[in-house]
Amino acid sequence: MQDRDQADAIAADRPYVALLRGINVGGRNKLPMRELAAMFMSVGCKGVRTYIQSGNVVFRASQELADRLPALVSAEIAASRGFQIPVILRTASEFSRIVRDNRFLAAGPDPTKLHVGFLADTPDPAHVARLDPDRSPPDVFEVQGREVYLHFPAGVARSKLDNAYFDRTLHTVCTIRNWRTVCRLNEMVGDA
């Protein structure tokens, strides 16, 4: 009976991706991935794996735990490291949709010029309308739900389309990942 209960509990868990903003960037907010993975495990996540050093975590959890997870992990990081880090979650099915729905792919751009901004909340349409399409030419973007698809033809380094701009204009939290990372996380969460 215990094996069946354990199997039911595992089946109730769903795969997720957590995207932490500002971890190990420019020598600031240093947090080893082993320590980050341990934080996720300590709050009850299963099958925890990290990808590169910038705060990408794939794991399994119940819906109830996932609902509380951003606050739990942020509080744990604040307590152990002394800095505040936003945590944004997506399910495996959401990640699959994100990869599938990138309209910039149809034009055949260099995939190294593509990025996705992950938003903590769905922005109000009035806030989306305030985004300036001419803010950073030749860069272009498209907001779809809780994602901002970005194409940086000249590279991301000089773009004015950054986390701060999207946070301020959309009144939510944004964290941006390059297309290669997005695709790799999609593979990982699909295997979780």
pLDDT per position as a tens digit, 114-171: 999 999 999 999 999 999 999 999 999 999 999 999 999 999 999 999 999 999 999 9
Least reliable range by pLDDT among 43-47, 104-108, 117-121? 104-108
pLDDT of residue 7: 47
Does position 2 have pLDDT exceeding 70, yes or no? no
| Secondary structure letter of residue 107 according to DSSP | G
Q: What local confidence, expressed as pLDDT, does residue 26 receive? A: 75
Q: Which residue has the tokens 């925890």?
A: 48
3-state secondary structure of 136: coil
Going along 1-80, which residue ranges are E strands?
14-20, 46-51, 56-61
Tens digit of pLDDT for each residue in 19-35?
999 898 777 889 999 99
Label residues 56-66 b or e (16+ Cβ within 10 Å = b): bbbbbbeeebb
Rounded percentage of the chain residues whose pLDDT exceeds 70: 94
- Averaged pLDDT, 56-80: 96
* Predicted local confidence at residue 25, as pLDDT: 78
The C-alpha angle 180, 185, 189, rounded to 5 degrees, equals 155
